[in-house]
Amino acid sequence: MMRALFIYQVLMPFVRRDLEIIKNNFEVKIVEWPKLTKGFFSAMLKILKEISYSDVIICWFASYHALVAVFLAKIFKKKSIIITGGYDVVCIPEINYGVFCSPIKSRVVRWILENANLVIPFSKYAEKQMLKWTKPKKIKTINLVCESDKFKPNDAVHRENLVITVCVVIKNNIPRKGLLTFVQAAEELPSVKFAIIGPHVDSAARELKKIAPDNLELPGFMSEPELIKWYQRAKIYCQLSFEEGEGIGGALGEGMAAGCAVIVSEKAEALKEIVQDKGLYVPYGDKDATVKAIINALERFELLGQKARNQILPFNSERRKKELMKAINEL
């Protein structure tokens, strides 16, 4: 059986799903890279200990942990794979977002991507953005997935005139996720409930609460079962972003799977890959267009919600497992 060393920084749901796939098909050793300097040397020692016994090193995202992994893989003559997309392949100067806006970080990431044996972007958009800056040895784009059997409608739950968006509530997400437009739309539709769901990291939630109307909640972090209940209650899921790396493995895919009608920003190209013509589009930052789209979606949410769920169903775990295993085994 092939032996893999799996290295990650944060066990996000889509990272966890890939880890489960790898664990079910390979003998796996796992290293969680520390967020702070503390723990750096112990993580390094663990990588050094495990790398000689591994056939392939798999890293999620092209950051400093991937630099260590790819560098050591070259020394020990092992295969290295980087799964990438989003922040680590873009520069969006309008919102100061992306690794390639930094001269130093961009050099690090470029070296990682050009020296890994395989780079796996998680969307066509991520691949397109990456190729603006660098050209890896080998690329295989594999879409993320949504656990549609978990995030699904519940006919026993009453659908409310409720519009939600889900994200980490942090300052740089206010422009990136279009949260001001979301708040402004709530102010224009006082008879409709709105909620921004997600952990409060800095002062962003306090700033939004100052301008939020009474019909908008910011309930904070939700456990997965709690979050599913919100999706099942809501008629509409909004993703009004300026920039996204993909639209399947996160909250948009979950909202679609749960049968919400979806409204997304025209600006975020990656969202179009999954929504296509099964949702409503609005210009980024356009409050009036967003309000009109919400009114439209409330009237047609059953049809739009079913279309959204049908659209997300093919992007399942079995599909990613087959494509991921094929790509790894062909190295």
Whether residue 114 contacts residue 131, with contact meaning beta carbons closer than 8 Å, is answered with no
Closest C-alpha to 217, from 260, 259, 160? 160
pLDDT in tens, 291-307: 999 999 999 999 999 99
Q: How far is CA 155 from the centre of its chain?
A: 28
DSSP state of 21: H
Residues 6+ apart with CB under 8 A from 19: 6, 8, 11, 28, 30
Q: Decide the pairing of beta strands 3-8 and 56-60.
A: parallel
What are the E-state strand segments in 87-215? 118-121, 160-166, 193-197
For 221, phi and psi rounded to 5 degrees?
-65, 140
Q: What is the pLDDT of residue 39?
A: 81
- Residues sharing a CB contact under 8 Å with residue 292, sequence separation 6 or more, in sequence order: none
Rounded-to-integer distance, Cα 84 and Cα 142, Å = 10
| Axis crossing angle, helix 301-312 with helix 287-299, rounded to the nearest 10 | 90
Whole-number pLDDT of residue 265: 97
Q: What is the pLDDT of residue 249?
A: 87
Model confidence band, residue 160 (pLDDT cutoffs 50, 70, 90): very high
Q: Report the alpha-carbon angle 263-221-314, nearest 5.
A: 45
The CATH class given to the 160-312 domain equals: alpha beta
Within 26-117, where are the H helices?
40-51, 64-75, 103-115
Q: Is 244 helix (H, G, I), strand (E, B) or coil?
A: coil
CATH node for 3-145+316-329:
3.40.50.2000
Give the pLDDT score at 44: 86
pTM, entire model? 0.92
Token pair 């959204």 is found at 308
Partnered with residue 237 across adjacent β-strands are 164, 262
Positions of CATH 3.40.50.2000 in the chain: 3-145+316-329, 160-312
Mean pLDDT across the chain, nearest whole number? 95
The dihedral of CA 217, 284, 174, 208: what is its sign? negative
Query: In this predicted model, what pLDDT tens digit does every residue of 229-287 receive, in sequence order?
Result: 999 999 999 999 999 998 888 999 999 999 999 999 999 999 999 999 999 999 999 99
Which H or E run includes 129?
helix 124-130
Digit-coded pLDDT (tens) for 26-39: 999 999 998 777 78
Edge-to-edge strand list for the sheet holding 216-220? 216-220, 193-197, 160-166, 234-239, 261-265, 280-282
**Contact (Cβ atoms closer than 8 angstroms) between residue 90 and residue 245:** yes
Q: What is the pLDDT of residues 122-158, one digit of tens each?
A: 999 999 999 999 999 999 999 999 999 999 999 999 9
Please name every residue paired with 216 in a beta bridge, in sequence order, or none if there are none. Answer: 194
Query: Considering only CA atoms, which of 22, 19, 26, 31 is closest in space to residue 68?
Result: 31
